[in-house]
Amino acid sequence: MEQDAAATTRLLELRLLVHSEVNGWVVAVNPRAAGLQLSADLRGRAAGLLARADRAVDDLDELIESYDSAQRRSDPAARITHLSALEQIQRRLLVIEAEYREEGLAAQPGERPPEYLDDDSRMRQALARGVTASILYQPVARRTPHTVAYAAGATEWGMQFRVLDEPFARMLIFDRRVAVISTATTNVTAAFIEDPAVVDHLVGVFLRDWERAVRVPWFDEVDRELPEVLRRVGELLASGLTQKAVASRLGLSERTVAAHIARLRERYDAETLFQLGWLMRDGAR
């Protein structure tokens, strides 16, 4: 009986049965008519959800304006926030990393602990929404296998890495709007800087160091021998074939060929595909 009652309830929900309030009858309905009505109901609900989605940001206009006003306070002291608890620093970084949309600059001196590189989900999400990422390392990174492996893989995602054989301070810059610097050698305290003049200065410092830094063939650091397939890809590029044509000639997917080209560009320090073909045609090694 309980199963029958459950089945009846479900059929009523689907409108395959209708219930008469007057005499208590339950009557079967043409499934075609029931299907059309159910479809209309779902379309109506979907239209309502789309309308709510369109209004979502507008409904928060007042709150957004209040938040932005709080961030634009004229008091210079409010533009620099010092945090000394690791959990507070991490929470603040999570908020910033969820909001930036254009560019991330990072100066990371010294050896990078594996746990800092294992969780790459936030960086992948940032790259997926169009963020560019430039990371500055010191030479010790080239002697650290897990860092080399990370840089080699992240290069395929679109990140850029360079190595500078000079001392520099640890620093993160998001959208040239917020800078984060360590305020102690132990890196357990940090200053979050939003003063435009100070951030602009720090961006200039980073770009100056970036220009002096060198690109590293990270893939070759992982595997010193250039695989035959890379040699063949390089030869075909040098002959003037496009990426699509190379993939067709070698029977590989374009995605695989793109990854091989990324490795070759790192090796030959080529900014563009044309430059890579030119360098390889000239016999650069």
Give residue-wise pLDDT tens across range 69-125: 665 554 555 588 888 888 888 888 888 988 899 999 999 998 888 777 767 788 888
Helical axes 254-268 vs 273-281, angle rounded to 10°: 60
Any residues with CB less than 8 A from the CB of 279 and at least 6 apart, and which?
268, 270
Question: 103 φ, ψ to 5°?
Answer: -150, 140
- 70 class by beta-carbon count within 10 Å (0-12 exposed, 13-18 middle, 19+ buried): exposed
pLDDT at 187 over 70: no
CA distance 77 to 124: 34
Averaged pLDDT for residues 229-238: 81
CA distance 175 to 132: 10
Confidence of residue 225 (pLDDT cuts 50, 70, 90): very low
Query: pTM of the entire structure?
Result: 0.55
pLDDT at 283 over 50: no
- Higher pLDDT: 285 or 189? It is 189
Q: Which one, of 135, 160, 155, 161, lies nearest residue 263 by Cα?
A: 155
Any residues with CB less than 8 A from the CB of 123 and at least 6 apart, and which?
133, 154, 157, 159
Any residues with CB less than 8 A from the CB of 249 and at least 6 apart, and which?
236, 241
